[in-house]
Amino acid sequence: MGETGTDRPRILRAAERTAAPWSNGGGVTREVAVHPPGSGWDGFDWRVSLAEVTRDGPYSPLPGVRRILTVVDGAGTELTVDGRTHQLTGRFRPFSFPGDAVTEGRLPAGPIVNLNVMLRDGRAAATVETVRGRRSVPTAPGNGPDAGRGGPVVLVVALEGGTRLAGAAEPVVLERFDAALFAGEGADGTGPCPQRQWELHTDGVAALITLTPAGPL
């Protein structure tokens, strides 16, 4: 369920996630957050997950969905999207592609873990940044005109090294693959975004994902 408080983001611990095996046996997925809460594959506006990919194979087609994939563990992957091959070497480099494209994945150097952001066309847009060092967390949108109407959501995911969020008397410490969710009231059913300014500190790498409505609310 995650940890929260009146002046803190919602904390989503990696240890509390359930692994969902893929139907083709090529890996497992763990959902980090989804909107609307509890949505299945046909109903989400946006979905963030971590996937452990263990073998080569095709990606499931997702018509009407934009995907942003970031390799966060392992040596990289080779994606062939509608016949064009992309070498995603290394880690922490977001790559965007349409979910309805014919996509094949190959693992030239063994298993990987991907951070996946999925966005329903016309309902949600997103930016994915990889952060090293310090970065202010842009939580202000939750206090703006969209607050209470499914406004912007900011999700911080710890990827490597020590990560903490400073902005309260006690900083929030995130272990690897833990996440912190900052949301405007009504955006995810957890209540209003914290009013204070928060700052991300990491001696490794963290993902900063900003999700915004793309169509009428």
- What per-residue confidence (pLDDT) applies to 1? 46
Residues 43-69 have a mean pLDDT of 95
Give bridge partners of residue 206 from the DSSP assignment. Answer: 131, 158
Give the pLDDT band (50/70/90) at residue 27: confident
- The answer on 135 and 105 residing in a single domain is no
Secondary structure (DSSP) of 140-196: GGGGSTTTTTT--EEEEEEEES-EEEESSSSPEEE-TT-EEEEE-TTSSSS-PPPSS
Above 50 in pLDDT, residue 6? no
Q: What is the pLDDT at residue 190?
A: 47
The confidence score (pLDDT) of residue 195 equals 54
Say if residue 103 is in the same domain as residue 29: yes
* 47 or 25, higher pLDDT: 47
Are residues 107 and 127 part of one domain? no
- The SS3 of residue 15 is helix
| Domain shared by 206 and 156, yes or no | yes
d(CA 178, CA 196): 21
Q: Which of 98, 120, 142 is the last residue of a domain?
A: 120
Mark whether 133 and 206 lie in a shared domain. Answer: yes
> Is the pLDDT score of 60 beyond 70?
yes
% of the chain surpassing 90 pLDDT: 72
The boundaries of the domain holding residue 157 are 3-13+122-213
Of 48-57, 108-117, 165-174, minimum mean pLDDT range: 165-174
Residues 132 and 110 in one domain: no
Q: How confident is the model at residue 216 (pLDDT cuts 50, 70, 90)?
A: very low
Quote the number of domains for the chain. 2
Q: Cis omega before residue 36 (within 30°)?
A: yes
Residues 39 and 64 in one domain: yes
94-104 as b/e: b if 16+ CB within 10 A: bbebbbebebe
Is residue 217 over pLDDT 70?
no
- Do 96 and 172 lie in one domain? The reply is no
Q: What was the pLDDT predicted at 24?
A: 73
Task: Tell me which residue has tokens 């983001």.
Answer: 9
* Domain final residue pick, 59, 86, 120: 120
Mean predicted lDDT score pLDDT of the chain: 86
Please report the sign of the dihedral spanned by the C-alpha atoms of residue 194, residue 118, residue 66, residue 164. Answer: positive
Q: CATH number, domain at 101?
A: 2.60.120.10
Model confidence at 25, pLDDT cuts 50, 70, 90, reads confident
CB 107 within 8 A of CB 55: yes
DSSP letter at 60 equals: P
How far apart are the C-alpha atoms of 142 and 56, rounded to whole Å? Answer: 41
- pLDDT over 70 at 193, yes or no: no
